[in-house]
Chains A and B, each alone.
Chain A
């Protein structure tokens, strides 16, 4: 009874058009139809953040949005945070350097939500970082290293911005 629907999304800069069941969540569309595997399914309720992606720059839980609802949008997954040559974003590098992943299941969503958090350029305290991360659950790290990484990344971004203002190359 479900008519298939043709949906076009710009996923990590690549235009992807697929015809699939209109009942598919954005997460299932990405994983099962478009073969984009870094967002993960976990709670199905929008609580845990493992499926987080950016839709037109804003973080959403892709398991509780239908692909049909965001037809035409730009979707960024954690894999899309890397540069064209595969170079890591400052946040990804900080996650690497601070060992902010153990099993790694929550990491794509953490990276997406932290990227959105840092987009305003504000400097946050550790408590503020923790508060804003309340929608991302990690069962391994105890969050310490994740907070370390985000704290370091915002410092690095600020340093780079100040450097740029003073004409210092990064």
Chain B
């Protein structure tokens, strides 16, 4: 399928991109890696008048360590998350999530900000950020506001971003010692979007879970943190999880060509148990 011509503009910086978005009066879209937008254009799902390219902007790229968190520039690529030593040391869950994204070619081009702003309900990074309690920094020329992941992701392909705002960076809290992580997904083929994906973080003491975070992607119209499951596993050991965790409430899965809603509900529980067990085991190893 041939893409219809559009006007192409190259932004000099992220604040320049904000200005261009404002000037376009809502008709423009941003492109960074383009690994979601360009497929949608090739398939005729998106047509646009103006495309503003931020892929060559050099700011907002890479990971830096700050007091209590990692700041990840929106233009950091999935490939960078896979290989970054700070991510490996402080938040390996993110590297694991990034490894599940698409194929190597997608990970070479696709960006963190692009994936989060695209907000596919089964995408890996929005799930990992929701599990981690990350905060997104949105700019409107200057720093405009900070929005937590669970508020940013509103529903399928819908976020808190206003027309002229740009997601500039993400703050991911670094966890202290004693935490372990788990990330698993079920998909038709490696590299496909997940049917359901799950992420967990667990802190243990003496083999028992003291604190936990667990979240699911693909089971609702946005990533969902499972507060009730977290409460139910306090004090549990890895081998208790199967008995402690009942059917997962509060999900709103869809039926599509990949799976029925019922199958997704079943996967939700199975994957929640598995990622919590993985996280428990890693936390014990770290202790």
Contacts and interface: CB of A to CB of B under 8 A. Distances in A.
Q: Give the dominant DSSP class at B's interface.
A: loop
A128 interface: no
B266 interface: no
B189 interface: yes
Q: Give the dominant DSSP class at A's interface.
A: mixed
B43 A44 contact: yes
Contacts, number: 95
A37 interface: no
A101 interface: no
Size class of the A contact interface (CB-based, 8 Å): 20 to 34
Nearest to A72: B56
A45 B53 CA distance: 19
A131 B35 CA distance: 21
A16 interface: no
A75 interface: no
Given A25-B3, A63-B42, A134-B190, A46 B8 contact: no
Interface stretch (A52-60, A91-99, A142-150, A160-168): A52-60
B7 A1 contact: yes
Interface in B59-108: 102-106, 108
Nearest to B8: A22
B113 to A, nearest CB: 15
6 contacts: A3-B7, A22-B7, A44-B42, A45-B39, A65-B109, A69-B56
Given A5-B8, A49-B103, A61-B109, 4 more contacts: A2-B6, A2-B8, A25-B38, A58-B108
Interface of A: 1-3, 5, 21-23, 25, 28, 44-47, 49, 52, 58-61, 63-66, 68-69, 113, 116, 131-132, 134-135
